[in-house]
């Protein structure tokens, strides 16, 4: 597996939302549909130390699972590898909170529809470090996974 300089856990931020990734397996596992849709293009990664990178390109490494990774919906599960560049910006806790809260407020109806809006805003505001924030988000975001 490709070695990356990211210190896990990390969050990924695209134009509209964010996600929590606990390890490289979670980060690099996706579907052909997501890859072809350009999700990884210019994706911002922030690790638990505040360092950041921008994914410039993602390419298919191999398929994952039986039947070449295809599921019953004919979606192919794949592993990707990245070309990335280190972002010069080092994020502090307030920067990361602002980025995440901006995404939450931008998609407020989504978060309210799940009944988690107030809970996740409170979680973000109460965090005491970037690592603490990521671990609290993990509890909120990875409940059913």
For residue range 36-48, list pLDDT tens digits in order: 999 999 999 999 9
CA 112 from centroid of its chain's CA atoms? 20
Q: pTM value?
A: 0.87
- Angle CA(46)–CA(50)–CA(56) in degrees, nearest 5? 35
Nearest to 19 by CA among 4, 34, 1: 34
Residue-wise pLDDT for 41-100, tens only, equals 999 999 999 999 999 999 999 988 888 888 887 888 999 999 999 999 999 999 999 999
**What are the beta bridge partners of residue 104?**
none
Q: Rg of the Cα trace of the chain?
A: 16
């Amino acid at each position: 597996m490709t070695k990356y300089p990211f210190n896990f856990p990390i969050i990924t931020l695209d134009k509209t939302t964010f996600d929590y990734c606990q390890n490289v397996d979670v980060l690099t596992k996706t579907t052909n549909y997501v890859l072809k849709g350009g999700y990884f293009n210019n994706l911002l990664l922030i690790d638990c130390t505040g360092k950041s990178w921008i994914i410039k390109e993602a390419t298919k490494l191999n398929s994952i699972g039986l039947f070449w990774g295809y599921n019953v919906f004919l979606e192919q599960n794949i592993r990707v590898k990245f070309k990335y560049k280190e972002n010069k910006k080092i994020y502090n806790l307030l920067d990361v909170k602002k980025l995440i809260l901006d995404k939450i407020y931008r998609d407020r109806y989504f978060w309210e529809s799940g009944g988690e809006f107030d809970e996740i805003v409170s979680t973000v505001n109460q965090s005491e470090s970037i690592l603490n924030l990521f671990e609290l988000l993990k509890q909120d975001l990875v409940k059913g996974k």
